[in-house]
Amino acid sequence: MKIKKLKLLFIALSIATASFTSQAQVNNKINVVATFSVLGDMTKNIGGNRINLTTLVGPNGDAHVYQPTPADAQAVAEADLLIINGVGFEGWIERLIQASNYQKQVIVATNGVNLIDMKEEDHHDEEHGEHEDDKHEEHHDDEHDKHEEDSHAGHHHGDTDPHAWHSLANGKIYVKNIANGLMAVDPSSQNIYKNNLKYYTNQINALESRIRKHVASTPKDKRKVVTPHDAFGYLSSTYGIEFFAPVGFSTESEASAKDVATLIRQIKKNNISAVFIENVSDNRLINQIARETGANVGGVLYSDALAKNGQASTYLGMVKHNISTLSSTLK
Ligand SMILES: [Zn+2]
């Protein structure tokens, strides 16, 4: 009798434990780390309340020059999934992964994106060609080589543009990669991620067609602007807006006096009427260039991070803000 009771109790306990475990698994959120605010917002939209999200580089933060903290290493160590932009944008990520001894899945959001490489003849070099015609040919080659070495030193991670999120078409690839990562790590919630992906992709599509109409109303010859660093190549190729910048793909590099002089010549030659500041860059140089050329400062563009609040605090809001800021200034 006693034994029977004990046995029953044991069975009851095991059932309770079993149901407790499965309940816990259902409620257990997965830990996801996204490297910067744009990825963080996308991940939040796809993961919803199924995930505990940590974003390493927050609003207005510059991921190019970010220095991870011990708390970041802790978050990565506890993560079930790590989502990065890749293409050298987070130059510190390999070190952080090692320091955290993270061995689980890493999703590279740019996977499958058609990446933009630095043009062989980027606009600095074109200028060299035009303005140094009268100089000795050999000297020109020296300058050209020197310039390439200089700019290479500023781009430790290759000369491919990492800012692919500025094209909404790429944004759709990003969120698909993120959703695939979440589904692989948390298959029991697959349907939730699938539905969230579908809903979010529809929102991107709707915004995409609105933006095309918006940009189409801006005169083609006016679609030329200056920004502090070369962060809008994907927006440029999608909407036919030409961007000029004193420095390249990373804010790590600094503009030389020669780069600035070249840019000032380009602004005058192309009748560029507006320069823009960025939320992540040091804007003193841009303000100086505006003063020297008489160009207007057209407002803030969100390049490498979302805003803390307001419209640009989400990915879709950021794209909306950038396009409307550009078009209203260029009209
Ligand atoms: Zn950047």
Q: What is the pLDDT of residues 248-272, one digit of tens each?
A: 999 998 999 999 999 999 999 999 9
Gap between the Cα atoms of 66 and 57, Å rounded: 7
- Check: CB of residue 243 under 8 Å from CB of residue 119: no
Cα–ligand 1 centroid distance for 205 (angstroms)? 25
Cα–ligand 1 centroid distance for 228 (angstroms)? 9
Q: Is 30 helix (H, G, I), strand (E, B) or coil?
A: strand
pTM strictly above 0.85: no
Cα–ligand 1 centroid distance for 161 (angstroms)? 9
**196 is written with which tokens?**
């969230």
Cα–ligand 1 centroid distance for 107 (angstroms)? 20
Lowest average pLDDT, out of 52-61, 131-140, 223-232, 265-274, goes to 131-140
Q: Is 137 helix (H, G, I), strand (E, B) or coil?
A: helix
Cα–ligand 1 centroid distance for 167 (angstroms)? 14
Determine how many CB atoms are found less than 10 A away from the CB of residue 303. Answer: 25
Gap between the Cα atoms of 145 and 139, Å rounded: 10
Cα–ligand 1 centroid distance for 247 (angstroms)? 10
Which pLDDT score, from 0 to 100, does residue 158 have?
58
Q: Is 249 helix (H, G, I), strand (E, B) or coil?
A: coil
Beta-carbon contacts of 233 under 8 Å, excluding residues fewer than 6 positions away, are 116, 161, 163, 166, 243, 249
Cα–ligand 1 centroid distance for 270 (angstroms)? 24
Cα–ligand 1 centroid distance for 132 (angstroms)? 30
CA angle 128, 259, 248 (to 5 degrees): 105
Beta-carbon contacts of 131 under 8 Å, excluding residues fewer than 6 positions away, are 262, 265
Cα–ligand 1 centroid distance for 244 (angstroms)? 14
Gap between the Cα atoms of 242 and 325, Å rounded: 15
Cα–ligand 1 centroid distance for 229 (angstroms)? 7
Sorting pLDDT into bands at 50, 70 and 90, what band is 156? very low
DSSP 187: G
The yes-or-no verdict on residue 309 having pLDDT over 90 is yes
- Check: CB of residue 275 under 8 Å from CB of residue 289: yes
Cα–ligand 1 centroid distance for 288 (angstroms)? 20
Cα–ligand 1 centroid distance for 213 (angstroms)? 27
Cα–ligand 1 centroid distance for 249 (angstroms)? 6
Query: What is the CA 220 to chain-centroid distance, rounded?
Result: 26
Cα–ligand 1 centroid distance for 24 (angstroms)? 41
Cα–ligand 1 centroid distance for 287 (angstroms)? 19
Cα–ligand 1 centroid distance for 87 (angstroms)? 11
Cα–ligand 1 centroid distance for 237 (angstroms)? 16
Q: How confident is the model over 101-145, as pLDDT tens digits?
A: 999 999 999 999 999 997 654 544 444 433 333 333 333 333 343
Q: What is the mean pLDDT of residues 162-168?
A: 98
Cα–ligand 1 centroid distance for 57 (angstroms)? 13
Lowest average pLDDT, out of 114-123, 157-166, 245-254, 287-296, goes to 114-123
Handedness of CA 149, 279, 167, 198 (dihedral sign): positive
Gap between the Cα atoms of 325 and 299, Å rounded: 7
Q: At 171, give phi and psi (nearest 5°).
A: -55, -35
